[in-house]
Amino acid sequence: MNIGEVAEQTGLPAKTIRYYEDIGLVTPQRGANGYRVFRDTDAHKLTFLGRARALGFSIEHCRELLALWEDRSRASADVRAVALGHLDDIEEKISALAAMRDTLAELVQNCAGDDRPDCPILKGLEGP
Amino acid sequence: MNIGEVAEQTGLPAKTIRYYEDIGLVTPQRGANGYRVFRDTDAHKLTFLGRARALGFSIEHCRELLALWEDRSRASADVRAVALGHLDDIEEKISALAAMRDTLAELVQNCAGDDRPDCPILKGLEGP
DNA sequence: CTTGACCTTCCTGTGACTGGAACCCTTATG
DNA sequence: CATAAGGGTTCCAGTCACAGGAAGGTCAAG
């Protein structure tokens, strides 16, 4: 498989796949013409990476998960630990965003939104 | 005021304040020694920026908000529009994160997390 | 033989800073 | 007066995970 085909198959942009090779996440072979040649295992890896990234795992976490995936003698506890750590991160981000939303929504609700200059949003940003 | 003092007053790191000057958000004067000299209005601006950034507004949105803040003939509708746009962004991010969390939480819940290699999390990342 | 689609590498840019090096200014102290 | 500490200054590099684009090589079809 050339990069275009595997890109279509995995849904990842070719640029991203090249980048993943750069940082050592996949190691496709090379044809006589210099083109990358992807085997099925490479494509599977890339699919795995795409899904892990879609769940918000960082590249480094992806690297760990990939290593665990390839290690047939892994302990599922190790995988779970990585996932739980990431879940905490996600929860924290959600909380932070929800707090922003709540504050901002309150400011917006108090703002008339007309052609007059008086604006509680700007006042709220000025200071308490 | 020197940069250290205004940094303490606003809670922003000095590095950030220099960066804000670089990109034209504040324009402190300079003393004979080359030091930045911040007036009260500069400090107020920086406080405003710090709060807007804390609510997740991008630098470009901050620039807009700052311009509106300084424009005494603004229409509050313009401010509200920026804020509402940002609220939408926040909601979208929250939804995306919540979706990640739900998917990931389900995988985690199905994982024994023991010393055996069998792991639904990895299976879930492989494919549907 | 040419066209057009595909592939290659390399360089730059993104957002919003952060860290660090190398150097200047000010103030207090021995 | 020398010096040391604690400000300040500029500039350069790095972060994260790619994306855009230039310049050029390769391949299959007409």
Beta carbons of B46 and B10 less than 8 angstroms apart? yes
Q: Which helix (H) or strand (E) holds B36?
A: strand B36-37
pLDDT for residue B101? 97
Residue B128 clears pLDDT 90, i.e. is over it = no
Residue A116 clears pLDDT 80, i.e. is over it = yes
Split at pLDDT 50, 70, 90, the class of B20 is very high
Nearest to B75 among A48, A101, A117 (CB): A117
Judging by DSSP bridges, how do beta strands A36-37 and B29-30 pair with one another?
unpaired
pLDDT for residue B118? 95
Task: Indicate the SS3 state at residue A23.
Answer: coil
Split at pLDDT 50, 70, 90, the class of A128 is confident
d(CA B52, CA B31): 29
pLDDT for residue A77? 97
pLDDT in tens, B25-78: 999 999 999 999 999 999 999 999 999 999 999 999 999 999 999 999 999 999
pLDDT in tens, A94-107: 999 999 999 999 99
CB-neighbour burial class of residue A109 (10 A; exposed 0-12, middle 13-18, buried 19+): exposed
pLDDT for residue A127? 78
- Per-chain mean pLDDT for chain A: 96
pLDDT for residue A122? 97
CA of B8 to C1' of C22 (A): 25
For chain B, give every domain's residue range. 1-57, 75-128
pLDDT in tens, A12-64: 999 999 999 999 999 999 999 999 999 999 999 999 999 999 999 999 999 99
Residue B53: closest CA among B42, B61, B41: B61
Task: Indicate the SS3 state at residue A25.
Answer: coil
pLDDT for residue A14? 97
In 10 A of CB A65, how many CB atoms? 25
pLDDT for residue B91? 96
Which CATH architecture does the domain made up of B1-57 adopt?
Orthogonal Bundle (1.10)
d(CA B48, CA B56): 13
Residue B77: closest CA among A47, A120, A25: A120
d(CA A39, CA A52): 20
pLDDT for residue A37? 98
Split at pLDDT 50, 70, 90, the class of A6 is very high
pLDDT for residue A1? 94
Instruction: Tell me which residues of chain A, numbers 75 to 94, contact chain B at a CB-CB cutoff of 8 Å.
Output: 75-77, 79-81, 83-84, 86-87, 90-91, 93-94
CA of A11 to C1' of D18 (A): 15
- Per-chain mean pLDDT for chain B: 96
Q: What is the DSSP letter of A36?
A: E
Within 8 A of A101 by CB-CB distance, chain B residues are: 87, 90-91, 94
d(CA B101, CA B98): 5
In 10 A of CB A31, how many CB atoms? 10
pLDDT for residue B127? 78
pLDDT for residue A34? 95
pLDDT in tens, B73-83: 999 999 999 99
CA of A9 to C1' of C7 (A): 17
Q: What is the CA radius of gyration of chain B?
A: 23
Beta carbons of B6 and B44 less than 8 angstroms apart? no
